[in-house]
């Protein structure tokens, strides 16, 4: 702690008096200010040491502090780090390079995803991973930066987030040796909430589009994501930017993060700005040539797109659900929200429209429609928890007859991560629609009497749309078969479903 305070004082003592003229002052007087500008990423990470907790901005590869991460990777003497980040980039870039170099002891993340090295180290007992809901990470960091020691949330109630037992560390035999602790709970207005503690880092490493020598920052599009809350919660915050502008060039109402939060700033040496999943808009002809598995997904999602109503605010989960943005009825307006910080998300881009700072929650390239807005992850999840969404469409591994959802983990085999799904299904006024194939690859049913996989949410699903049929979840009763896919019968649905259900009187083939 003393060493960190000394570093903060050393940073503050780098006083380089420069003349900056602030427009709009009646006196027209010059202002002397101290510069927080550093010459290189290697110089900027001075004081980072083994055992530190680092808050890392970015989402996937969008908006990551590329140069600062490379500087840490060059310092092989820095070991046993705790990294707080939504995910870990890819195996060969971003935060993933620190996993490759074995400099990280513990990851505090929401999503493992497609980073095979991240998953391998976790399941192989080489890495501690504290998995948290994405919105909970964002709010814990925001709270830490705001001096709030703890808060209560609906997210995770009834799941292992509440009861504890989520594996943090396995041994080489696959046994859990460290598990998450149960949460303290409290009832407000008849509902149970979990207590979560604020997070503060020894250092925060963030990336912005523009900044000045006072440390004021401006983000571009969806690259605000976790950068904004992380910037406020570091004992020492280091920001790298694509462009350093003169003090005064950034208008006060343009600045996203005030320089009061930033201790060091540098112009990044080089930027690759990789896109994790470059995804382009497909023509009807291209869709017809897709593999059968993808055609099946599109069949499901075209039916899901019928759920949209004019004026709705909707979140689309990663994977299959996000495809729905391409099948909205052109006669209606639907405002699509992506939890990484977009409202008014459009379809996948053409090659000419691709921008590395515009990705969705699945790290796929997207567009923003006229009137759309971008914001940080903590603001995004405030919208979600605050019941601003009318509907969310999610993928699923299992759904029970009561509407319990599992979609984040197969113990010891597959770890997708909690992501934002727990936050989305916890919003009590948002309709939850789950899209998934009716059965697994081996033919076993995914719709069951009771889930066998860890829960994402309890009694949270309103409608299930599969390649075979549409079920509604009727509270305190169970499933009601509403629609059939072409070629299906009630008997074929019974044969492929792992629980009993009622049949609507007007059930018919509709898609």
CB distance 496 to 487 below 8 Å: no
The CA distance from 98 to 269, in Å, is 19
* Dihedral sign, Cα of residue 135, residue 431, residue 451, residue 190: positive
The CA distance from 179 to 166, in Å, is 5
CB distance 245 to 104 below 8 Å: no
The CA–CA distances, whole Å, from 101 to 52, 69, 78, 330, 374 equal 16, 12, 10, 49, 34
Point out the catalytic residue in the list 339, 483, 502, 509: 339
The CA distance from 66 to 63, in Å, is 8
Strand 431-435 versus strand 414-415 pairing type: unpaired
The CA distance from 44 to 265, in Å, is 8
Distance of CA 293 to the CA centre of its chain: 26
Task: Indicate if 254 belongs to the active site.
Answer: no
The CA distance from 418 to 415, in Å, is 9
- C-alpha closest to that of 358 among 468, 470, 280: 280
- C-alpha closest to that of 418 among 365, 469, 370, 381: 381
Distance of CA 105 to the CA centre of its chain: 22
Which token pair is 489? 């019968």
E strand spans, 245-302? 264-267
Query: What's the residue count for the chain?
Result: 511
Which token pair is 246? 């003169």
φ and ψ at 100, to 5 degrees?
A: -60, -40
Would you give the DSSP letter of residue 323?
G
Collapsing DSSP to helix, strand or coil, 135 comes out as helix
CB distance 98 to 87 below 8 Å: no
The CA distance from 68 to 475, in Å, is 51
The set of catalytic residues is 339
């Amino acid at each position: 702690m003393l060493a960190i305070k000394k570093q903060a004082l050393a940073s503050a003592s780098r006083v380089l008096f420069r003349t900056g003229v602030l427009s709009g002052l009646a006196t027209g007087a010059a202002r002397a200010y101290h510069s927080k500008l550093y010459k290189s990423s290697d110089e900027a990470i001075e004081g980072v040491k083994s055992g530190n907790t680092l808050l890392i901005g970015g989402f996937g590869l969008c908006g990551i502090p590329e140069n600062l991460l490379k500087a840490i990777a060059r310092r092989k003497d820095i070991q046993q780090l705790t990294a707080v980040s939504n995910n870990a980039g890819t195996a060969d870039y971003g935060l993933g390079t620190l996993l490759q170099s074995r400099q990280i002891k513990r990851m505090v993340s929401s999503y493992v995803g497609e980073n095979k090295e991240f998953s391998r180290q976790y399941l192989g007992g080489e890495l501690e991973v504290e998995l948290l809901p994405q919105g909970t990470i964002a709010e814990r960091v925001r709270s830490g930066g705001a001096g709030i020691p703890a808060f209560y949330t609906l997210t995770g109630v009834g799941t292992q987030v509440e009861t504890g037992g989520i594996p943090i560390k396995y041994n080489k035999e696959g046994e859990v040796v460290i598990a998450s602790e149960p949460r303290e709970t409290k009832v407000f207005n008849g509902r149970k909430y979990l207590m979560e503690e604020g997070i503060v880092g020894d250092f925060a490493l963030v990336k912005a589009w523009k900044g000045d020598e006072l440390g004021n920052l401006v983000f571009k599009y969806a690259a605000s994501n976790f950068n904004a809350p992380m910037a406020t919660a570091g004992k020492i915050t280091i920001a790298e930017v694509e462009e350093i502008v003169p003090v005064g060039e950034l208008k006060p109402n343009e600045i996203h993060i005030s320089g009061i939060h930033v201790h060091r700033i540098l112009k990044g040496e080089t930027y690759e700005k990789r896109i994790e999943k470059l995804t382009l808009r497909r023509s009807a002809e291209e869709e017809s040539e897709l593999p059968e598995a993808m055609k099946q997904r599109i069949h499901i999602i075209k039916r899901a797109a019928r759920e949209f109503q004019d004026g709705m605010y909707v979140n689309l989960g990663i994977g299959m659900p996000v495809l729905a943005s391409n099948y909205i009825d052109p006669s209606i307006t639907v405002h699509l929200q992506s939890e990484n910080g977009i409202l008014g998300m459009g379809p996948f881009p053409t090659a000419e429209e691709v921008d590395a700072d515009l990705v969705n929650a699945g790290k796929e390239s997207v567009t923003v429609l006229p009137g759309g807005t971008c914001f940080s992850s903590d603001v995004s999840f405030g919208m979600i928890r605050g019941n601003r969404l009318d509907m969310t469409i999610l993928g699923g591994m299992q759904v029970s007859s009561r509407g319990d959802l599992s979609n984040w983990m197969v113990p010891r085999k597959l770890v997708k991560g909690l992501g934002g799904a727990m936050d989305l299904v916890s919003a009590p006024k948002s309709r939850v629609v789950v899209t998934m194939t009716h059965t697994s690859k081996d033919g076993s049913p995914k719709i069951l009497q009771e889930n066998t996989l860890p829960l994402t949410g309890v009694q949270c699903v309103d409608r299930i749309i599969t390649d075979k049929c549409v079920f509604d979840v009727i509270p305190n009763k169970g499933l009601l078969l509403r629609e059939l896919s072409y070629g299906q019968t009630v008997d074929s649905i019974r044969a492929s479903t792992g629980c009993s259900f009622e049949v609507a009187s007007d059930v018919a083939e509709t898609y």
